[in-house]
Amino acid sequence: MTTIAFIGLGNMGNPMAANLVKAGHSVHGFDLLPENLAKARDNGVTVMADAAAAVQDAEVVITMLPAGKHVISVYEDIAPKVAPGALMIDSSTVDIESARRAHAVASQHGLPSIDAPVSGGTAGAAAGTLTFMAGGTKEAFDRAEPILQPMAGRIVHCGDAGAGQAAKICNNMILGISMIGVAEAFVLAEKIGLSHQALFDVASTSSGQCWSLTSYCPVPGPVTASPANRNYSPGFAAALMLKDLKLAQEAAQGSGASTPMGAQAAQLYSLFAGLGHAGDDFSAIIRMLRGDVG
């Protein structure tokens, strides 16, 4: 059993912390929102008064926060208070620069660290089947792996500090672009008299096959579990897709990579969110492409 501090008990953090409790760890949790603390308590997490109290006896500290600024602020607050040698794991999705800064803050205090963002959404967090993409030294990764296991379907060591975040934004750029591609194909099919099911039956076993089609189909019917069957309630909100596409564009601009489709996807999701649909599942972009939302 390991004593684990878990900071950030939101939609993702709460079910992740619950799986650590189920695996027999002692989890000391903190969040700014009382309702999230109450849920965590129901899941067997020992709720603490603040982040400093949560990390006091921790051998491992996991953060699951909204964005880079939150991670840096929490790291600067807690790093001086964490027990020497404790392992720092940040699973939030943040920009690569913030990820590297968080590693630097940890290192200044002698704390090994990895960035370990996740893919799989709230369903994967609840089921303990998230994909973790980790960046950091081999030693830190080897220590983190058994801790991440109860929350994970797959754990990949992607490289040095920041490599986990790099993998996350590249993956989600593929996802944003492919969802728009699949949605456009369904809109075209509707206009030219091809049924949703016929397009799905062909493309899902042909060269158009991809996750956005076969696991997350943006029209109701072919894939029972996809958010299209529940009026596009998320799932993975358009606001989060926009966040990740913006992170990819920042990285592209900073590195000189040419990503015209990624840029277009970011613009379309920005437009969709601006029309009041930030809280809809990201597959609902099909409604904007179809002209159903204004």
Give the binding site for ligand NAD (CB under 6 A): 7-13, 30-33, 36, 51, 64-66, 70, 74, 92-93, 118, 121-122, 236, 240, 243
Measured from the CB atom, is 33 or 257 closer to ligand NAD? Answer: 33
- Choose among 122, 161, 154: nearest CA to 138: 161
What DSSP character marks residue 291?
T
For the annotated catalytic residues, the residue numbers are 168
SS3 31: coil
SS3 12: coil
- Choose among 134, 117, 123: nearest CA to 244: 117
Cβ–Cβ < 8 Å for 65, 38: no
The distance of closest approach from Cβ of residue 185 to ligand NAD in the complex, given in angstroms and rounded to an integer, is 25
The distance of closest approach from Cβ of residue 253 to ligand NAD in the complex, given in angstroms and rounded to an integer, is 20
The distance of closest approach from Cβ of residue 181 to ligand NAD in the complex, given in angstroms and rounded to an integer, is 21
Cβ–Cβ < 8 Å for 16, 130: yes
The distance of closest approach from Cβ of residue 201 to ligand NAD in the complex, given in angstroms and rounded to an integer, is 29
Cβ–Cβ < 8 Å for 179, 212: yes
Measured from the CB atom, is 74 or 166 closer to ligand NAD? Answer: 74
